[in-house]
Copies of this chain bind each other. A is one copy, B any other.
């Protein structure tokens, strides 16, 4: 049950924002960047930044900080963003179609190889360069494209049923954008995405700090 505790999830969640700051520094032609600078840019504590970056195996140099290019590679390697990964998207509604066009994922080498829906008016169409297939073709398309990850953006009332179908066909990881707590075999990894979390933080920050 607790196996995922082996990963430091809050630290991992912060690493993409560090990567962005470091890439910004690279674009400005900087060779070194300090943990303190990253911390200031992101309103974090420097000690936290250094602890998080240590996860990637990189060491800063006294007085200089981290070499920018090495740091970029270390973070990308740690996050496995240095290798192409493939996923499918299941449920080509509003959110699903928005994710098909979301450039950030492509920049991190996540490619959505195929999308699936049950609505006949959508099947066969291309959305942001990705073809929408009938869910009944899932096994055939998966065999051809080879993805093991699925982005789940179906309506909540069918989420469990659809998740079971795609897991039966060999999906091993689900990025779950529905608000349904999926009950799946323990070999399947589920990452729950809830945009409400960001709203919760913003709402509290505004109550405390906005003037």
Contact = CB atoms under 8 A, between A and B. Distances in A.
A134 interface: no
Given A43-B5, A201-B7, A206 B21 contact: no
A195 B105 contact: yes
A197 interface: yes
Interface string A179-211: 101000001110111111111111111111111
Given A201-B13, A201-B191, A206-B189, A5 B44 contact: yes
A6 B208 CA distance: 9
Contact of A198 (B193, B207, B210): B193
Contacts of A24: 181
Interface stretch (A57-65, A94-102, A158-166): A94-102
Contacts of A175: 198-199, 202
Interface in A62-117: 79-81, 85, 94-95, 97-99, 101-102, 104-105, 108, 110
Interface of A: 1-7, 9-10, 12-17, 20-21, 24, 40-41, 43-45, 79-81, 85, 94-95, 97-99, 101-102, 104-105, 108, 110, 128, 148-149, 172-173, 175, 179, 181, 187-189, 191-211
